[in-house]
Amino acid sequence: MDRVLEDKDWPRLGCSNTGKPVDEGKVKEIIKEAVNQQQEEDKEVEARRNNLVLYNIPENQSERREDRLKVDRDFIVTMCDDVAGFDINDADILKCIRLGAFSVDKIRPLLITLSSKDTRDGILRMGKDLGLSGRRYSSIGIAPDLTPKQREENRKLLEVVKATIVADGESPENYKLYVIRRGTRPEVIKKKRHKVAQVSLRQEVVQGNLRQEVEQGNPQQEVGQNRTVADQQIDS
């Protein structure tokens, strides 16, 4: 792909006080290059249209690549059924590959190509339910297969949103930030995390139990048991 155009590539137009004539040949060259770049980007987006990238799916340690890929395919089919009752079969997964070199001490992202956009969108929507689907699936993430340009756009947009949060006197860590795309335009969704409130509530329950222990004169060794009960009250 051609180099990415920068601001310095564009001549200053419509400025009568520059004293420099506009180089029409240069303008046409820049416009042509910009059009070519956008056409290449459009082709790349279309090629990835039915792709998804899945994170933290346990990786089989077999030395045979074919065995590892079969386990991955079976896991995806089972996950879709368990989490969303979404019925897919092996034929719906046209491509399934791990990204990066195989290593026994890390889990590589999994790139899949689905048979249709409807199947792809159904699995992508399922991502919001993974955190509530038990220990087996809670750490798994699902994301669109973005082009390098789209990933860079997302990164810059997140930086702007984080800077805005800091300017408002808050910490970005207090928010869950993720980018969605409506058509070609990225948009940041910002949700307040409840972790701080949950910790405070846990502390209040624990302190209440401790006060009750003191008032009743129970032995100190029972305090640990009450702390466990308090944790169960919050997590349940």
What are the extents of the domains in the chain?
7-45, 51-144, 148-192, 196-235
Neighbours of 163 (CB within 10 A): 11
**CATH number for the segment(s) 51-144:** 3.30.70
Q: What is the pLDDT of residues 153-208, one digit of tens each?
A: 999 999 999 999 999 999 999 988 878 877 778 888 888 887 544 444 455 544 55
Which residue has better confidence, 230 or 142?
Answer: 142
Contact 141/55 with Cβ under 8 angstroms?
yes
Q: What is the pLDDT of residues 35-87, one digit of tens each?
A: 988 999 999 999 999 999 999 999 998 888 899 999 999 999 999 999 999 89
Q: Enter the pTM of the model.
A: 0.66
Query: Which residues are within 8 A (CB) of 15 and not within 5 positions of it... i.e. 6 or more apart?
Result: none
Burial of 57 (0-12, 13-18, 19+ CB in 10 A): buried
Contact 52/114 with Cβ under 8 angstroms?
yes
pLDDT surpassing 50 at residue 236: no
Distance CA 7, CA 65 (A): 46
The b-or-e profile of 180-218 (16+ CB within 10 A means b, else e) is: eeeeeebebeeeeeeeeeeeeebeebbeebeeebeeeee
